[in-house]
C-alpha cells in the first residue's frame, strides 16, 4: 500500500510540474493585447507569436524613433511549397491583427525568404472599408479577413 501511495504522489507531482511548464500565454486570447503600443516589446512579441508562421519568425524590429511607427517581421526557412499567394495572404492576415491590436502601428513590413511586403494601416482599412480598431474579438476579425482573402483577385489588387 505504501508503494502505491508513493507512486500516486510521485505521478501527481510530475503531472503538476509538466502542466506548470506548459502554461504559457502563447495560446491565450490574443485580444488581451488590444490597445498595445509599438514600443511595448513584450506585447508585440506575444501578438506575433500567436499569428500564422510564427514558427518561422526570425525576429522582429520595432520602429519607434519617428512617427509613423511600424514593425518589421523577418521570416526564414519557409517551406519551398509556400507560394507568393500564401505570403500575400499571410501578410494581410497578420497585418490586420497587428493593426487591430497595436494602437499606434501605422505600417508593417514582412520580409519572407525572397519577398518583401509593406502594408500600411490606412491602405488596409480602405481595402476592408472598415476601421480595424472597432473589432473586439478574434472570431469577428478572423471572419472579416477570411471573407476578403477568399477572393484571390481582390488580394492581388491590394498589392
Question: Cα separations (Å) of 33 from 47, 100, 102?
Answer: 7, 10, 8
Question: What is the average per-residue pLDDT within 21-44?
Answer: 80
Q: Which residues, listed in sequence order, are joined to residue 92 by a DSSP beta bridge?
A: none
Report the chain's mean pLDDT, rounded to a whole number. Answer: 86
Between 26 and 97, name the one with better pLDDT: 97
Q: How many helices (H) and strands (E) does the chain have?
A: 6, 4
Contact 79, 70 (CB under 8 A): no
What are the residue boundaries of the structural domains of the chain, listed by start? Answer: 28-158
d(CA 39, CA 22): 28
pLDDT (0 to 100) of residue 85: 85
Q: Indicate if the pLDDT at residue 39 is higher than 90.
A: yes
Distance CA 27, CA 82 (A): 24
CB 17 within 8 A of CB 33: no
Q: 1-31: b or e for each residue (b if 16 or more CB lie within 10 Å)?
A: eeeeeeeeeeeeeeeeeeeeeeeeeeeeebb
pLDDT of residue 12: 41
- Residue at grid coordinates 519607434: 64
Q: How confident is the model at residue 2 (pLDDT cuts 50, 70, 90)?
A: low
What's the confidence (pLDDT) of residue 114? 83
Q: Which of 40-44, 106-110, 152-156 has the lowest mean pLDDT?
A: 152-156
- H helix runs in 22-117, sequence order: 41-48, 84-101
**Percent of the chain with pLDDT strictly greater than 70:** 81
Residue 128's contacts (CB-CB under 8 Å, 6 or more residues apart) are: 96, 144, 148
Look at residue 80 in the predicted model and tell me its pLDDT: 56
For the chain, give the percent of residues with pLDDT over 90. Answer: 74
Q: Give the model confidence (pLDDT) of 110-140 as tens digits.
A: 999 888 999 999 999 999 999 999 999 999 9
Amino acid at each position: 500500500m505504501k508503494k502505491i501511495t508513493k507512486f500516486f504522489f510521485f505521478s501527481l507531482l510530475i503531472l503538476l510540474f509538466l502542466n506548470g511548464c506548459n502554461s504559457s500565454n502563447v495560446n491565450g486570447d490574443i485580444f488581451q493585447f488590444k490597445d498595445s503600443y509599438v514600443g511595448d516589446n513584450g506585447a508585440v512579441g506575444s501578438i506575433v507569436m500567436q499569428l500564422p508562421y510564427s514558427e518561422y519568425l526570425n525576429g522582429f524590429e520595432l520602429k519607434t524613433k519617428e512617427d509613423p511607427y511600424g514593425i518589421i517581421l523577418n521570416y526564414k526557412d519557409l517551406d519551398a511549397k509556400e507560394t507568393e499567394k500564401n505570403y500575400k495572404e499571410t501578410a494581410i492576415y497578420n497585418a490586420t491583427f497587428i493593426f487591430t491590436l497595436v494602437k499606434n502601428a501605422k505600417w508593417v513590413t514582412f520580409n519572407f525568404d525572397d519577398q518583401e511586403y509593406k502594408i500600411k494601416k490606412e491602405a488596409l482599412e480602405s481595402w476592408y472599408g472598415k476601421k480595424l480598431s472597432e473589432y473586439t474579438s478574434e472570431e469577428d476579425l478572423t471572419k472579416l479577413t477570411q471573407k476578403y482573402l477568399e477572393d484571390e483577385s481582390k488580394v492581388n489588387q491590394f498589392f
